[in-house]
Every structure is written in C-alpha cells, then in structure tokens.
C-alpha cells in the first residue's frame, strides 16, 4: 500500500502502525472502549485508556473489569504486560499517535441527540493535536458529526488541515455485549474517513488488530450505516411486537408463528417480541437519524411508528398482568409481583433503558407490591425509589401472586422455580415448559 502514498505524514503513520510503535488512546472505557483497548494491547500496541470516571479508572488499573465481555484475568494480563493502563490525566494525551473516541451518545429528554460527551472528548484532544495523528469517532451519532462538528473543532486555530496533516474518520462500534460468538475482533469494522488519506490511515490501524475491515467512501456513510443497522432492529422489533398483540387478540401463539416463519431459508429473519426495547443503542439510535432527517425537512415515518409500538410495550405488559390477576379474582392493587430480570437483555449486567424499569414503575403506580430477582443487577433506581434484588428462594416464590419474566437470564432454573409459583407471565418465551401456570406474551 505504502508505495502509492505521497503524503509523508500518512506514510510515517502506516509504518508506525505496522511496527507497533504507534501509541493509541481510547477515550471512554465502557462496554465499547475497554474491549477495544484490550484488543489493541493484545496486538502489541501501547494503549492508554482515558476516562473521566476516577473510580472506574482506579478499579480498571487494579484489574477489576467493569464490563461483561472482559474478564478480570484478561484485563490483568494486558496491564501486567505493560501494554495497557487507564488514566484520568489529560496531560497523558501528549505525544500520542491515534485517538479513538468511545464516549456515550445519549438522548436528551426531548429525544434530541446529546453529543456533549463527544464534544468534551474532542476538546480533550485539541491541545495535543499534531501532524500525523489519527482521530476516530466510534460513538454512534448522526450523519455529519465527524465531517462537520469534529473536523471544525480540530482544525480551528490549529493551523493543521484535516486529511492532509492529520487524519479523521468514523468507524461505528457494533459490539453486542454478552455475545460469545461475535466480539470486537471478529465483527467486520466499517470505516469511513473524511477524505482518502483518513480512510487509509484508519483502515491501516484497525487492520493490525481486527479480523475484517470494510472501507466506505465517507464518514457520513459509516455514520448512517450504523444508524440503519439499529433502525432496522427497532423497526422489526416494533413489527413483531405489534404482531404479538394481534396474535393475542386472535388467540394464536406468536412464538410458534415466528419460529414457523423462520424455517423459510431466505427472505425472513426472525425477531422476537418482548416487554419493550432497552440498552444504550436500539431505543436511542434511530432518534439520531430521525433528528438529522428532520433538520433537512424529511419526516421518517417508520422510526416514529416503531418507537410508538415499542414504547407502549411496558404498559401493554402491565395490562396483561392485570388481566391475569383479574382471572384469578385479584386486583393489581395490593398484589405481590415478582419480576424476573431487570437487565435489558439476557445474561448481561446493564439495565440502561431497560423496559423492566418502566414495567415496575407502572405496576407500583397502580398499587402492586413489586420485588425483583436478577443475579446480574443488585439494585435499580426507579423514579428516585431504590429497588434491591431479593434472593431467589422458596419464600419469595411463595410470596408472589404472579411472576413476570422480563429478561431470560439463563440462571433462572424454571424446572425448580415453576413448581413453587402460582402463576407466571412470560414475556420472553423463556420457560419452555408445558404448564397451565404459564401465560406467554
């Protein structure tokens, strides 16, 4: 590759990547940043992880991993090899070769993008910007963030020109926490620079560490590809959640329907209904796309409709629980309800945007007495009220008038649990046992 390259900064950068001389900074050590930092360190790069949360940095440096995909042993191995350390100190950013930004991109209450974390990470880099450096944004964001906002911030007052003196790209992270088949290294990495040199630099760096790279023509294409992926999921989950409600009215088992449709070897991909969508990505990302589209006068209808259906699922779950209690001559008010799982998906320790929080909120608002079991999540705050997980024992199973399965953690042993329960509403088709006590979504 290097024989076709005339830009001296790029040539030098590629040599430094290939020789593992390049020093890499990962900004934001969460579900995305920490696994990426560990991959770079494994590949023999000297990696600095920068985070603003001091307690998190201290605990990482002691070898305690805060994320499910990185074991303490894996973290300790890269720390003791000397290839990785975490820091809160911004002066450590001096003299680095590459910066990869993996900070949160939440929504404001108005469902507008909150890119204040991306802006602050860029501000951190600015005083240390030098010719030959590569900056990559991995945080999910709206099209144009990299080539409008970040580019302008970095060039301003620096005397440096993007794609000529320094390199700037967007590369979405597609990691799926808890997925044991696909992780940071073997998920194809989409990369789009703000110009050709930037794409080449980012492709070259990631190629040293990750299995497969897919280069696209611009940062905007890469930004939009990520939003398409997650909008695709949100819309299809919305569709199947609506089909689940329709099937209930027609007295048809939606799970059997989806499984039958999924036997088609082409043209169908199964999505499953549930109590709503959660996590840091699927409920939020489509709004980034919708917001940007609206600025250009385009109103995306699928995103709004899927959001409407998915956001209503927690209320729908509560109405179905009320119906079940009604059938056994009980009211929601005063009933004992045991929630199984508050994480937003199975076998992970993340309750951000979890539909369980809303289900519990609506249940308690209507006077139900709610407890929850979840070995991954010790406590959750719902509208200023702190709920702590209770032990999963015979006493709590006997206490419950109804159990509500919101997350299908694999440590729920239904063969043991079910005999001790009166009634269970299963929103995940988790139980898979023939029993009149179980009612499915």
Ligand X SMILES: NC(=O)c1ccc[n+]([C@@H]2O[C@H](COP(=O)([O-])OP(=O)(O)OC[C@H]3O[C@@H](n4cnc5c(N)ncnc54)[C@H](O)[C@@H]3O)[C@@H](O)[C@H]2O)c1
Choice between 201 and 348, CB closer to ligand X: 348
Query: Given the rule CB under 6 A, which of 10-18, 50-58, 208-216, 250-258 is the region that contacts ligand X?
Result: 50-58
Q: From 43, 29, 36, 278, select the one nearest 175 (Cα to Cα).
A: 36
Nearest C-alpha neighbor of 144 from the set 288, 27, 287, 33:
288
Q: Does 171 bind ligand X (CB under 6 A)?
A: no
Stretch that binds ligand X, among 167-175, 180-188, 401-409, 416-424 (CB under 6 A): 167-175
175 touches ligand X by CB under 6 A:
yes
Q: Which is nearer to ligand X, 222 or 324 (CB)?
A: 222
- Letter string b/e over residues 366-387, b meaning 16 or more CB atoms within 10 A of that residue's CB: eebebbbbbebbeebebeeeeb
Binding mask 249-288 for ligand X (x = CB under 6 A): -------------------------------xx-------
* Range in contact with ligand X (rule: CB under 6 A) among 117-125, 156-164, 315-323, 394-402: 117-125
Q: At closest approach, how far in Å is the CB of 322 from ligand X?
A: 33
Residue 267, φ and ψ in degrees, nearest 5: 75, 5
Nearest one of 244, 232, 322 to 276, comparing CA atoms: 244
Q: Is 247 a catalytic residue?
A: no
Q: Which of 53, 68, 187, 293 binds ligand X (CB under 6 A)?
A: 53
Q: Which one of residues 165, 173, 307, 358 is an interface residue with ligand X (CB under 6 A)?
A: 173
Which candidate in 281, 322, 343, 356 is catalytic?
281
Does position 103 bind ligand X by CB under 6 A? yes
User: Which is nearer to ligand X, 90 or 160 (by Cβ)?
Assistant: 90
Q: Does residue 29 interact with ligand X by CB under 6 A? A: yes
Binds ligand X (CB under 6 A): choice among 16, 56, 189, 200: 56
The answer to the question of residue 31 lying near ligand X (CB under 6 A) is yes
Binding to ligand X (CB under 6 A) within 124-143 occurs at: 124, 139-140
| Residue 121 makes contact with ligand X by CB under 6 A | yes
Contact between 80 and ligand X by CB under 6 A: the answer reads no
Give the integer Cα–Cα distance in Å for 404 and 339: 5
Residue closer to ligand X by CB (options 54, 264) is 54
Q: How far apart are CA 197 and CA 194, in angstroms?
A: 8
Contact between 87 and ligand X per CB under 6 A: no
Contact between residue 197 and residue 178 where contact means Cβ atoms under 8 Å apart: no
Residues 6 or more apart in contact with residue 58 via CB below 8 angstroms: none
Site string for ligand X, 370-409 (x = CB under 6 A): ----------------------------------------
Q: Kindly report the number of other CB atoms within 10 A of residue 202's CB atom.
A: 29
Q: Can you give the binding site for ligand X, defined by CB under 6 A?
A: 27-33, 50-53, 56, 102-105, 117, 120-121, 124, 139-140, 173-175, 177, 280-281
Catalytic positions are: 281
């Amino acid at each position: 590759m290097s024989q076709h390259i005339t830009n001296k900064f790029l040539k030098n950068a590629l040599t430094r990547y290939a020789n593992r001389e390049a020093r890499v900074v990962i900004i934001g050590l969460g579900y995305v940043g920490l696994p990426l930092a560990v991959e770079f360190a494994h590949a023999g790069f000297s990696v600095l992880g920068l985070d603003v949360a001091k307690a998190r940095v201290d605990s990482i440096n002691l070898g305690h991993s805060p994320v499910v995909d990185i074991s303490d042993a894996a973290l300790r191995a890269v720390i003791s090899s000397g290839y990785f350390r975490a820091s809160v100190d911004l002066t450590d950013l001096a003299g680095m070769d590459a910066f990869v930004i993996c900070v949160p991109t939440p929504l404001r209450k108005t469902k507008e993008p909150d890119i204040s974390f991306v802006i602050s990470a860029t501000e951190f880099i600015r005083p240390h910007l030098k010719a030959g450096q590569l900056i990559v944004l991995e945080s999910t964001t709206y099209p144009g963030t990299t080539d409008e906002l970040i580019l302008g911030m970095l060039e301003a007052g620096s005397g440096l020109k993007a794609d000529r003196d320094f390199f700037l790209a967007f590369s979405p992270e597609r990691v799926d926490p808890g997925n044991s088949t696909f992780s940071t290294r073997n998920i194809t990495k989409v990369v789009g620079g703000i110009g050709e040199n930037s794409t080449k630099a980012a492709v070259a760096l990631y190629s040293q560490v990750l299995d497969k790279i897919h280069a696209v023509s611009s940062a905007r294409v890469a930004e939009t590809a990520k939003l398409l992926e997650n909008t695709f999921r949100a819309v299809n989950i919305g569709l199947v959640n609506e089909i689940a409600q329709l099937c209930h009215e027609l007295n048809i088992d939606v799970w059997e329907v989806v499984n039958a449709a999924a036997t088609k070897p082409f043209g169908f991909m199964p999505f499953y209904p549930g109590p709503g969508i959660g996590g840091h990505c699927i409920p939020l990302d489509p709004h980034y796309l919708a917001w940007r589209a609206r600025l250009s006068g385009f109103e995306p209808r699928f995103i709004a409709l899927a959001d409407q259906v998915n956001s209503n699922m927690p209320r729908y779950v509560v109405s179905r629980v009320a119906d079940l209690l009604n059938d056994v001559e009980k009211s929601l008010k005063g009933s004992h309800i045991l929630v199984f799982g508050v994480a937003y998906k199975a076998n992970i320790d993340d309750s951000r945007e979890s539909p369980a929080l809303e289900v519990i909120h609506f249940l308690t608002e209507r006077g139900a007495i709610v407890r929850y079991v979840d070995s991954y999540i010790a406590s959750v705050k719902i509208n200023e009220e702190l709920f702590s997980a209770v032990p999963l024992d015979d006493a709590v199973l006997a206490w419950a008038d109804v159990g509500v399965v919101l997350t299908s953690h694999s440590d729920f042993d239904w063969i043991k649990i079910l005999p001790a329960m009166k009634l269970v509403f299963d929103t995940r088709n988790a139980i898979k046992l023939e029993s009149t006590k179980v009612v499915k979504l």
